Amino acid sequence: MRKLRFLPLILIIPIIFCIKIYREFDVEKMRDEIEKRYSQVVLDDRDNIIGAYLNSEEQWQIKGVEIPPRLKLAVLNYEDRKFYSHNGVDYLAIVRAVKTNLLEKRRVGASTITMQGVKLYKRRERTYLSKIEEIIESYKLEKYLSKDEILELYLNNAPYGSNIVGYETASQLYFGKSAKNLTWAEGATLAVLPNSPGLIWIEKNRDKLLNKRDNLLKNMYERGVIDEKQYRLSIKEELPKERKYFNSLAPHLTRRLVNEYDNKIIKSTINSELQKNIERIAREYGDYLNNRGIKNTAIIVVDNHSGEVRSYVGSQNFYDFQRNGQVDGVVAQRSVGSVLKPFLYALSIDEGLITPKSKLLDVPLYFSNFNPQNANKKYQGLVEAREALKKSLNIPFVKLLDEYEYGVDKFFYFLKDVIDFPERDYSNYGLSLILGTKEMSVENIAKLYYGLSQYGEFKDLKYIRDDKKIEGRKLISKGASYLTLEAMQGVQRYGIDNLYLGRDGIAWKTGTSYGQRDAWAGGISPRWTVVVWCGNFTGEGNRNISGVVTAGQLLFKIFKVLPNENESFIKPNEELKKIKIDSETGYRLRYDVPSEEIDYPKDAKNLKVSPYYKKVFINSKGEEIDSRNEEFIESKEKIVLSYPIELLDYMARENISISNVRDEKIKIIYPLNNIKIFLPKDFEERKSLIVKVANPKNKKLYWYHNGKYIFSGRDRERAFDFLEGEHRLTLVSESGEVVEVKFYILRGK
């Protein structure tokens, strides 16, 4: 009787134990923790793996999203034929297993797929108590998850030998393909492996593995799962001979994406075939550059139809350790040279400052202490704006930036609107901003050029395939964008003539940074935007570095492998209007002078009138007079060209004649008024100040320093050893004209 008193207690304790196990088993926690186990993988635009990364346990475990039917049937026939009919436990199988274990002293399992899924989540010792826990937890799992979800959980966590986990991982590393493309024989191989993962060692146990696979195929045939033809063909298939490796394309980008996103499966926009071709070009061209002392390259290719990045090459070869191949040159900040000029050109059109035919000054000029020069140290005097862009002349664009409504600040904030860099102080750059003093990345420049391909609507580039719409900002009019693209086409640059033959539909621009440290090229076709950079990640310069030759060659090598759809830029006729300009200088027609009609953006500000035309009054002798002259009442109006003194002086120096030259003025070109000049000490002596004078008529000049006469002559340049402090320089011409400038000298020690 006393024993019977404890019977309820004996019965209650196991019940409590089972209830405790049931309650403590958290299915959602299980799913969350399993999710964390998966490796991160990056897919291309067709869902092929281009980058895979070990999980925290140093395992390859790629999450499969849809179990292929052939693998599913093979697993069910091998592991658990009653899977869809039982509630997580196969009692008859358990009874058979206990009988075998006890009577035959041979350990066999009776776990269902559900129980194996639980076992893979919690790795426990093989005891009867742990088996009870698995049974209880399996019941709960069946309550909260569907059969397909349970099967997916099991196959995604099943071991396949070594550090390979999950059916998708095994399919990729053993057969070199996605699981969705498995054959019957391959599906059967993966079905038998989780119970015998040691058999996958290719050099060993191949016969055992083959027998297990073929027996399963035979059983499937006998059960009518596969037909005779499928069976005969399947048993003829060979086992994999060696373990394969994941594809590794765009490694700089895949590493960047796995660091930026938590997703286990990241769907990129990269096109594998295009990426392979461009990586090959980068390696081959990188070897060519290396022989010339240039070690590194970076490339990005954008699909203009979608804004998606189709190719991303961070270096000439990611695995080139000697040349710092693991540095991502696409995001590295470098001096950009002249590649920003198209945007100042377009913005200036929208501001009404120029048309493509407007004449710009191209002579040596001083802007405070800034003395820019053209790359070839040659000048054209006056040059059409479109030609200045084609030839990448520095002087016209520095002058243009100086005039650009608010100057440097407005152009700076345009760049900031597009790229969103952290700097806020435009004064750190000055007019040299247009020559590349603001460091930017290949990615930044690609974003700018892609915006130009979209006719002035600037958006972020897409690296991830999703349905999110990227909002853009309209910063340049369609009309100005088209006129800029038009000017950038058909550029003839010595050294790469043969490369762009037949590629007339490409608008492109190159740039070389100061000190020949960086070579850039950006190209736009109706379908593609391509930006390339060549140089040294270490920052060292090289005389062989040239935007045109170095980067330009690479640019067109890439365009040659891009699909060419023979498209042309669409002229936005609805965004353009016809205006009249004067034929000589290319500005808004004001006077009765020869004119012509050109396209001009409808949304642009009114074009300014020519700065070179002026109205004068002529007496009976043909002399120019003003209102102080007694003959003024009887004088006649005349429209004449009045070019800046800097231009006239340059023309005179170069012995170039220019029509309608009437201005006989003189001008001190340098130093400018109220300028502060720092003169460092030279190695041997104090550095002199070179005073430059515009004197187109070569007049005799009388020089005065601080009111004291110092000398006379027809010199256009003269060196002075001025002391530190304030100075006043006065020049008087032989015709009585007076010019004066005040400046300050700061001496270095």
DSSP designation for 736: S
Residue 77 phi, psi (nearest 5): -70, -25
Give dist(CA 214, CA 349) in Å, integer.
Answer: 75
Asked whether the CA dihedral 279, 285, 291, 293 is positive or negative, the reply is negative
Q: How many CA atoms lie within 13 A of 205 on its CB side?
A: 12
Q: Where are the beta strands (DSSP E) in 115-234?
A: 164-165
Give dist(CA 28, CA 231) in Å, integer.
Answer: 41
Give dist(CA 628, CA 339) in Å, integer.
Answer: 51
Burial of 296 (0-12, 13-18, 19+ CB in 10 A): buried
Whose CA is closest to 78, among 229, 184, 228?
184
Give dist(CA 539, CA 287) in Å, integer.
Answer: 19
> Which two three-digit tokens encode residue 543?
């005389």
**Is 89 in contact with 83 (CB distance < 8 Å)?**
no
Give dist(CA 636, CA 624) in Å, integer.
Answer: 10
DSSP designation for 55: -
Q: How many CB atoms lie within 10 A of CB 284?
A: 12
DSSP designation for 470: P
Give dist(CA 189, CA 167) in Å, integer.
Answer: 11
Beta strands 738-747 and 675-679: pairing type?
parallel
Give dist(CA 535, CA 519) in Å, integer.
Answer: 6
> Which two three-digit tokens encode residue 536?
């040294």
Q: 218-254: buried (b, 16+ CB within 10 Å) or exposed (e) per residue?
A: eebbeeebbeeebbeebbebebbeeeeebbebbbbbb
CA distances (Å), origin 391, targets 202, 349, 362, 388? 63, 18, 12, 5
> Which two three-digit tokens encode residue 684?
């041997």
The set of residues, in sequence order, having a beta carbon less than 8 Å from that of 473 and lying 6+ positions away, is: 417, 418, 457, 458, 459
Order of strands across the sheet with 624-625? 624-625, 613-618, 636-641
Q: Tell me how long the chain is.
A: 749
**Is 86 in contact with 199 (CB distance < 8 Å)?**
no
The set of residues, in sequence order, having a beta carbon less than 8 Å from that of 280 and lying 6+ positions away, is: none
* Residues annotated as part of the active site: 79, 338
